[in-house]
Chain A
């Protein structure tokens, strides 16, 4: 497949145009991947709306039907559901740690087993998040173990 990139004037709107013989699964996958790259993570903090980078997120937490985005020093609310965020997250960098948490793997400092039969993940900022036993194999596979 030929790939062309054309530089345009800053005043013009950027766009991606795919010219294909038919819209097959491969094309749809490309579109999905591009959409993921462009996906915005919007966080609400009071009346202000913030555009966030996934790389800055430590974890997502669902509490009482609300979803919160935890960055290093700030917490934002998200209007998306946890499972929607799970689909949006870069798959290699985030993983579902329990029913109500999605963790950024790169922010994990270390993990240790707890006596309750689960794992505790300590993050760069010193916070500790519980990782359910059933999700540990997912973390292992994402780390290539």
Chain B
């Protein structure tokens, strides 16, 4: 992917992350008051989380191993950012709560990966079905 495409995706993702945090907090924690300072913090968090995606960008095609290494790095950085801001927003405090929160983030991360894979499998099945059709048409 070209860097310009990556950057345009990042701008889109930034607003998506920002929106999800604000709307999610408003729904799950209606008593939470968004001061200008907190909105600024959310902006920083969305920006930092978004920037982590740059880890996947490369001029050359990444090998399977390189991609998996980057995925692990991506996960670690996401954990660090979310846990840091979790402590700043007082979502968690102390070691135990931080570890539990970290485990929750890991579960969500794995779930997202599994959902992604299931959607990809559905796409692959559609493609395979079409390929089979094409081959049978060519044989006739």
- Are A117 and B67 in contact, CB atoms less than 8 angstroms apart? yes
Provide the bound-state CA to CA distance between A119 and B121, in Å.
9
- Are A140 and B64 in contact, CB atoms less than 8 angstroms apart? no
Counting contact residues on chain B (CB < 8 A from A), the size range is 20 to 34
Contact of B130 among A118, A119, A145 (CB under 8 A): A145
> In the assembled complex, which residues on chain A have CB atoms less than 8 Å from the CB atom of B124?
110-113, 119
Contact of B128 among A105, A110, A115, A116 (CB under 8 A): A110
Interface string of B35-64 (1 = CB under 8 A from A): 000000000000000000000000011001
Count A interface residues, CB 8 Å: 26
Asked if B104 is at the interface (CB within 8 A of a chain A CB), the reply is no
Contact of A115 among B61, B117, B123 (CB under 8 A): B117
- Are A99 and B67 in contact, CB atoms less than 8 angstroms apart? no
Chain B 118-136 residues near chain A, CB threshold 8 A: 120-121, 123-124, 126-128, 130-131, 134-135
Q: B6: shortest Cβ distance to chain A, in Å?
A: 10
- Which residue of B is nearest A101, CB measured? B61
> In the assembled complex, which residues on chain B have CB atoms less than 8 Å from the CB atom of A106?
134-135, 138
Residues on A close to B: CB < 8 A?
98-100, 105-106, 108-119, 130, 132, 134, 136, 139-140, 143-145
Residues on B close to A: CB < 8 A?
1, 5, 60-61, 64, 67-68, 71, 116-117, 120-121, 123-124, 126-128, 130-131, 134-135, 138
